[in-house]
Amino acid sequence: MPTVGVKRDLLFKALGRTYTDEEFDELCFEFGLELDEITSEKEIISREQGDSKASGASDIILYKIDVPANRYDLLCLEGLVRGLKVFKNKLEAPRYRRVSPANGEPQRLIITKETAAVRPYAVAAVLRNITFTQERYDSFIELQEKLHQNICRKRSLVAIGTHDLDTISGPFTYTAKPPGDICFKPLNQTKEYTATQLMSLYKTDSHLRHYLHIIEDKPAYPVIYDSNGVVLSMPPIINGDHSKIALKTKNVFIECTATDLTKAKTVLDMMVTMFSEYCAQPFTVEEAEVVYPDGKTCKYPELAYRKEKLSSEFINRKVGINESTEKIAQLLTRMCLLSQVTGVGDEIEVEIPPTRSDVIHACDIMEDAAMAYGFNNIPRTTPRTYTVANQFPLNKLTELLRQDLAAAGFTEALNFALCSQEDIADKLGKKIADTRAVHISNPKTAEFQVARTTLLPGLLKTVAANRKMPLPLKLFEISDVVLKDETKDVGARNSRRFCAVYYNKSPGFEVIHGLLDRTMQLLEVKSARGTGYHIQAADDSTFFPGRCAEIFVSGKSVGRLGVLHPDVINRFELTMPCSALEMDLEPFLGHTAETTLTHDVPMQEVIKHKFPTQDGSLQAPSSQPASTKTVFGDMSTPAGLKALNDFLADRSYMEGFVASQADTAVFDAIPSSPALTLCHLRRWYNHIKTFQRERASLPSAKSQFVLPATPPSLTNNTSDDDEDIDLFGSDDEAESAEVARIKEQRLAEYAAKKSKKPTLVAKSSILLDVKPWDDETDMGKLEECVRSVCMDGLLWGQSKLVPVGYGIKKLQIGCVVEDDKVGTDLLEETITAFEEYVQSVDVAAFNKI
């Protein structure tokens, strides 16, 4: 989203009132914007360039406001203030008009046929008798830049030129000439340059060099002249200095050259509508004529208003509200979309102004109505469709493997899915034609030419970038590769792979082989030919001859492991042996059948029909359940229903993740359908209602949720003696005792289950750089001081002295810490307390174990 920076005081002055930061943030949210940051020019420069550069900067408060990318009318202070005032009913949306010049002869822009090969389109307009102040001038220039970066796509589609009309004379000519034939004094320069010289001059310009590529390879460059041969501009690079605008400029000639005529019209409309309010006749724009090479003449700006018709029922249904047609018309008018009721049913006629080029469909109008109504005011409703989500099986397997591979001592890496052709072919000793790689048609860099077909190059490049880390380096990655597949509609498919590398002074094939065995153990695949897995010798140019094996599972090849070929190691700029393993994970998923959790039965059918019971007979709906008493309270009371609603707030079922007899028992205890206000209970109730047909086959309940209607103690001890009956007694005591007993039982079961779970202790491996004051510091004493630091959860490891320079060495020492007990800040603070020996402490490496 584009960000617009406006001065707070100037904004409040234009709005006609002062807001607190919180109030303005709320106003932005209501209008569909976001107040991203409250800062100042000084703070921005200080953050980006340092305090020294910010010494003379302004302290004026700036609001950074995020604006939707297609709302070009909000990219400047003028449009933002206008939109907010209309939204708050403080201003009526202005009516923009195109007028003819006083003398009856509009300015003309003649386009020659030479421009067809470069930028064939141009539009123009005049802002007559405009009054600039410094703030208005700055906003005018900033809007041009915002449009250039947004809809103009960095001037590649449209380039805007603004000129002081009083310094030039029409008609104007838009043509294209060889760069050597164009000569003029560009903006803010002191002498004339040819177009060729300008392209060389601006190659080092931090701002303009980004636009040179648009025309530098063209045989002819676009240029605009006035009737006296004065150069107005060389789009899309630079304007001429002769016609530059200033604060005293009264008449502004605006021209937009483009490769897209529609975009050019939109950009011109935005420029003139935003600043026409400063003209002598507010919101009027003087027309200009554009003559095309075929003789066709068009007048710009178009400032076209168009009308759309839609129903209030459409907006109510899509937004989820129930408002009258008149009310919705008022809401749309607040969004600068003048609307009125036609009187034909619930039809609304909406007028879309030239500033709202973002409105292209009825859904855009509906969105504005929702925004004006207030998203927070839309009533919350329960979805009509209920589903129970499950994790994608392949992702679930991946997550489980990641945890156990990390526990095996390997560190996970994450690399780009795109790589160079050399990475997957030449460096691995293969031919690109044999890789089944998907090629990128227009790669931006040589590093992203193809989609990777193997994870190995990414891990080897990661190792190469971390060669200075302590050995051994043990890395793994579980990600997708992309392979060509003619059976797929897109011609390619993703394949989930697992790859691991071991890099050390020795090849470590036994480590990689052990990791394979551990992985198969986790996947519950036994080591056996035929039904399990086995490895057998194979030849692969990536691996050392005689040191490569192919992995077979149930007779099917799923991957390879071995010691990498020395040539492969050298091509990745590595210096030590490396073993690798790569295999496909998808064969281990097997056949996964999706269990249907609900039936596609319309709600009307569920209510209308009676469902057969287990013996095949039809069960008539009972008007009164056997018992309404549950562990949550009496289901015939609002308190009991609310307690059950709260219980189901984060649950789909009473127990576990599938429907069971516990759900049907509680369902039967509820006398009637819950109220709409009990959204969680109603969701569950409607869902369980769909299980009536197969309720007898549902899993048994593990716990008792429904209590007997009459406590057993009363039925068993019934006596004819009236003295044994307490006429003024209450059933609440027996019920409370039963509820308390069940709660105690469930709490005890939960505590016992929780106590059996092993507690995972998070640990980290830290490598510290301890620097002495000078070369005379006793490094032995320094290490003794460091190792004297004792803490619960801290274990010191190996150390070595590393030369720094000028005879000075630093102590590099490793340690393992428990994350909950020891932090890096605490270690650094404790070690630097030895001021006699220690100058500073830095964390050289930090890895989770």
Question: Closest Cα partner for 800 from 791, 790, 810, 792?
Answer: 810
pLDDT in tens, 680-722: 888 888 888 888 777 888 888 888 888 876 554 444 444 444 4
- Hey, what are 198's tokens? 């300008």
Alpha-carbon distance 166 to 249, whole Å? 8
Alpha-carbon distance 117 to 221, whole Å? 10
What per-residue confidence (pLDDT) applies to 756? 57
Alpha-carbon distance 522 to 405, whole Å? 10
- Hey, what are 197's tokens? 């010289």
Alpha-carbon distance 138 to 132, whole Å? 9
pLDDT in tens, 517-530: 999 999 989 988 88
Query: Could you tell me the residue ranges of all domains in the chain?
Result: 3-88, 97-300, 306-375, 393-588, 629-695, 763-848
Across-strand partners of 799? 813
pLDDT averaged over every residue in the chain: 85
Question: Matching CATH topology for 3-88 and 306-375?
Answer: yes
* Alpha helices (runs of H) in 123-260, residue ranges in sequence order: 134-149, 195-201
Centroid of chain to Cα 685: 35
- Buried/exposed code over 84-109 (b: 16+ C-beta within 10 A; e: otherwise): bbbbeeeeebbebebeeeeeeebbbb
Alpha-carbon distance 289 to 765, whole Å? 73
Contacts of 624-628 with C-beta under 8 Å, sequence gap 24+, read: 624/671, 625/668, 625/669, 625/670, 625/671, 626/668, 626/709, 627/669, 627/706, 627/707, 627/708, 627/709, 628/669, 628/670, 628/671, 628/709
Residue spans of beta strands (DSSP E) within 664-718: none
pLDDT in tens, 300-348: 999 999 999 999 999 999 999 999 999 999 999 999 999 999 999 999 9
Would you say domain 393-588 falls under CATH 2.60.120.560? no
In this structure, what DSSP letter does residue 516 have? H
**Lowest model confidence (mean pLDDT) among 572-581, 595-604, 745-754:** 595-604
Q: What is the CATH number of domain 306-375?
A: 3.30.56.10
pLDDT in tens, 660-671: 888 888 998 898
The model's confidence at residue 613, banded by pLDDT at 50, 70 and 90, is: very low
Question: Closest Cα partner for 187 from 172, 202, 171, 200?
Answer: 202
Architecture of domain 3-88: 2-Layer Sandwich (3.30)
- Hey, what are 138's tokens? 């700055």
In this structure, what DSSP letter does residue 404 have? H
Homologous superfamily, domain 763-848 = Ribosomal protein S6/Translation elongation factor EF1B (3.30.70.60)
- Hey, what are 88's tokens? 């708050």
Q: Tokens 């018992």 appear where?
A: 627
What per-residue confidence (pLDDT) applies to 713? 44
Alpha-carbon distance 405 to 477, whole Å? 10
pLDDT in tens, 258-305: 999 999 999 999 999 999 999 999 999 999 999 999 989 999 999 999
Query: Taking 50 as the threshold, does the pLDDT of residue 809 lie above it?
Result: yes
Q: Tokens 């209607």 appear where?
A: 709
In the CATH hierarchy, which top-level class contains the domain 97-300? alpha beta
pTM exceeding the 0.75 threshold for the entire prediction: no
